[in-house]
Amino acid sequence: MFYLKYRPHTIAEIDNVKARETIARFLNSNSLPHAFLFIGQKGTGKTSTARILAKSINCEKTRYFNKKFTNIEPCNQCPNCKSIDNDSSPDVVEMDAASNRGIDEIKNLIQNTAFTPMHSHFRVFIIDEAHQITHDGFNVLLKTLEEPPTSVVFILATTNPEKVPPTILSRCVPVNFGLASSVDIKNMLERIIKSEKLSVSSEVLDLISSHSDNSFRDAAKLLQELISQNKLDLEKAQDYIGIRGNNILLTLLDSKTIEDSLRWVQEFTKSGGNIKSLISDLLSQLHKLLMIKNKILDEKTKITLSQQQILRLMKLFNEAYSNLLATPNESIPLEIAIMEYYNVK
C-alpha cells in the first residue's frame, strides 16, 4: 500500500510543513520537552512523526547520542533506528488508547517509565488516540507528567483535544498537525509518483488532493486506486471520483429554475455520482469564485452570482456536507440546500 510504503521516515519527508518546522525547532533547541501533544485530523502524520521523533532522539548518529554531531535527522541505518522502524525497540513503547484506556493499562505503562533505556538515551511512550483514556487513567498519567523521569518522553496523539483534561493539556507541549493542506498533499503525491516513476498530470494531482478529506493517507489511497483502475487521465479520474459535469450545477443555480437544479441532482445520483465529492467540489468552485470576485485570483468566469449569493451557497453546502453522515439518503442534504437557496434567491 502506498500509504504504508511512503510513510515519512525522516524529518525532511514530513510533508506537513508547519508540523515539520515545529518538531525541528524543538529537536534543535537545548531543552527537549518531556511531553508532547500531537493534535490533528486522521491521516495528518501524528503517528509517523512520533516515530520519527523517537528515532531522532535515539539514533546513534544525531546530536542526542553523540555531542560531536549537530544534526537531528535520524540515519535510519543504525540498530536503534532500525529497531524503532520495525517496532522491536524496547525503548519505544506504543500504546493505542482506543483499546487500552483504563487505569490498569495506564499503570502498567507508567511502571515501564521507571526502567532506564536499554539501548538508547530516551524511552519514548507514544499514546495514540489519547483522548480515549478514562478519567482514572488520566489521573495516573498526570502524576507522572508532573514529575517525569529525566530519560522519558511522552508523545500523546489525538484527533479530539477538547476531550483531553486541561490538567494534562497544560503539561504537554502542543504540536498542531491541523488538516493536511492541498499544497502539502500535492508534495506528498509528487514524492510518490517520482519514486514510482509514473507521470501524472498536475490537474489530476489537484483533483486527488481536493478529494482526500485533507488527509495524507486518503490521498495516497486514492492515487493508488486511480493507478490500479487505470484512471490516470483527467476525464477518467473525474468520472471515477464521480464529479464529472459538476460545473453544470453551479451554472444551473446561477441561471435556471429550481426544477432544473433538482432534476440534475437526481440524474447525477442515478448515474452513480458521489454526492460527497460533488459538494466538496462545489465548495472549492465557490471558493475560487470568491477569490475571483475579490480580485485575488485573476481569472474569468461566466457565473454571475453575487458575493452574497456565493456566501449563502457556501454556508448551505457546508451544512449539507456535515449532514451527510447523519442521513440515510445522501442526496437529501444537498436537495435541502438547493431548496433553501431558491427560497430566498
Q: What's the number of CA atoms in the CB half-sphere (13 Å) around residue 191?
A: 20
Minimum CB separation from ligand ATP for residue 103, in Å?
Answer: 24
Minimum CB separation from ligand ATP for residue 50, in Å?
Answer: 8
| C-beta separation of 32 from 123 below 8 A | no
40's contact among Mg ion, ligand ATP, Zn ion, none, with CB below 5 to 8 A by partner kind, is: ligand ATP
Nearest CA among 144, 133, 145 for reference residue 105: 133
Minimum CB separation from ligand ATP for residue 175, in Å?
Answer: 11
For ligand ATP, which is the closer residue by CB, 44 or 331? 44
Minimum CB separation from ligand ATP for residue 97, in Å?
Answer: 11
For Zn ion, which is the closer residue by CB, 75 or 248? 75
224's contact among Mg ion, ligand ATP, Zn ion, none, with CB below 5 to 8 A by partner kind, is: none
Specify the 3-state DSSP secondary structure of 313.
helix
| C-beta separation of 276 from 301 below 8 A | no
Instruction: Classify burial at 198, counting beta carbons within 10 Å of its beta carbon; exposed 0-12, middle 13-18, buried 19 or more.
Output: exposed
Report how far apart, in Å, the C-alpha atoms of 329 and of each of 250, 266, 334, 341 are. Answer: 22, 12, 10, 20
Minimum CB separation from ligand ATP for residue 169, in Å?
Answer: 18
81's contact among Zn ion, ligand ATP, Mg ion, none, with CB below 5 to 8 A by partner kind, is: Zn ion
- Which positions lie near ligand ATP, rule CB under 6 A? 3-4, 6-8, 14-16, 40, 42-48, 159, 188, 216-217, 220
151's contact among Mg ion, ligand ATP, Zn ion, none, with CB below 5 to 8 A by partner kind, is: none
75's contact among ligand ATP, Mg ion, Zn ion, none, with CB below 5 to 8 A by partner kind, is: Zn ion
Nearest CA among 242, 232, 239, 245 for reference residue 203: 232
59 makes contact with Zn ion (CB under 5 A): yes
Which H or E element spans position 19?
helix 17-28
Using CB under 5 A, list all residues that contact Zn ion: 59, 74-75, 78, 81
